[in-house]
Amino acid sequence: MKPIKKAILPVAGLGTRMLPAAKTTPKEMLPVVDRPLIHYVLAEARAAGIEHFVLVTGRGKGAMEDYFDHAVELEATLQAKGKDEMLNSLLADLPKEGEISYVRQMAPLGLGHAVWCARHIIGDEPFAVLLPDVLTTGPTACMAQAVAAYHTLGGNILVVEPVPDHMTHNYGVIAPQSRDGRVIKMSGMVEKPPQGTAPSNLAVLGRYILQPEIFDILAERERGAGGEIQLTDAMAKLMQSQSFHALDYEGESFDCGDRLGWLRANVAFALNNPDLAPAFRAIVTELMDGSPD
């Protein structure tokens, strides 16, 4: 079984649900507490043993390349002022040279197309995909749980979580066949099923382990939901010849692609931060006491 060493992070999306902030700041650079979304997701991939990160980017997304590089003036200033702790923490978070590659998705044709754009860098090996809109917490990193499941099961793995029935139309949803603990054998999946038609309430979370044969299917450029080249449709096709399992992972997810999800993540992460939690809790309590509801 080939190990999972590379991850694709699709970051070309426009972020229309986070306008106007996402007009000039890539949505992946919006902060949760004190670091951008993409920082958390890269760290999650690293915690799963990923060594090479492929960011599929687009116009206006250059801030991410600068973020993952030295900021020479800033580092020199911090050093001159003796702010060693801050400097060392910035340096420790930097990827090593050559660990990140960037490819441009030259047209907004969908998630499947974004993944396909990274095919030459991935080559002929299984790989991970992490959608940076979604942050996860748990006893171990979500992607690491998926990699552990892959080591037992092989094939393709999708992380899922239960969502309320009225929310399923926002996600890729799996059709479960049988369940063993947290591992679910799948019989199908559908992208954004219309209300009342979802095959289950298990939504695809945005963490995948895929075999490279998916690229041949994506190359056919078939359009699906919303007129886009959907990763879910390509996976449903690959399922005819390869094994697919879903992992109902242990932890909690935060969809930061819209305002409420992003606000929820900020509150949850701040309340979980030992430096901030006591003062932040007091602020929230004060605001809640003064609010009409």
Q: CA-to-CA distance for 37 and 115, rounded, in angstroms?
A: 19
Q: Which of 100, 198, 204, 247 binds ligand G1P (CB under 6 A)?
A: 204
Q: Is 8 in the site for ligand G1P (CB under 6 A)?
A: no
**Considering only 131-139, 177-185, 211-219, 263-271, which stretch makes contact with ligand G1P by CB under 6 A?**
131-139
Q: CA-to-CA distance for 70 and 25, rounded, in angstroms?
A: 19
Q: What angle do CA 65, 205, 5 make, to 5 degrees?
A: 50
Q: Is 186 in the site for ligand G1P (CB under 6 A)?
A: no
Residue 178 phi, psi dihedral angles, 5° rounding: -150, 160
Q: Say which amino acid occupies 84.
A: D
Give residue number: closest CB to ligand G1P.
172
Q: CA-to-CA distance for 185 and 162, rounded, in angstroms?
A: 15
Q: CA-to-CA distance for 235 and 204, rounded, in angstroms?
A: 12
Q: Which of 36, 126, 193, 206 binds ligand G1P (CB under 6 A)?
A: 206
List the x/- string, 146-185, binding to ligand G1P by CB under 6 A: -------------------------xx-------------
Q: Which is nearer to ligand G1P, 53 or 171 (CB)?
A: 171
Distances, alpha carbon 277 to alpha carbons 37, 280, 281, 292, in Å: 20, 5, 6, 24
Supply the minimum distance, in Å, between the C-beta of residue 281 and ligand G1P.
29
Look at the alpha carbons of 58, 60, 66, 67 in this order and tell me if their dihedral is positive or negative.
negative
Q: Which is nearer to ligand G1P, 44 or 255 (CB)?
A: 255
Q: Which is nearer to ligand G1P, 172 or 176 (CB)?
A: 172
**Nearest Cα residue to 122 out of 14, 223, 2:** 2
Q: Which is nearer to ligand G1P, 131 or 214 (CB)?
A: 131
Q: Is 191 in the site for ligand G1P (CB under 6 A)?
A: yes
Q: Is 58 in the site for ligand G1P (CB under 6 A)?
A: no
Supply the minimum distance, in Å, between the C-beta of residue 204 and ligand G1P.
4
Look at the alpha carbons of 143, 145, 150, 156 in this order and tell me if their dihedral is positive or negative.
negative
Tokens of 122: 């991935």
Q: Which residues bind ligand G1P (CB under 6 A)?
A: 111, 131, 133-134, 171-172, 191, 203-206, 231-232, 255, 257
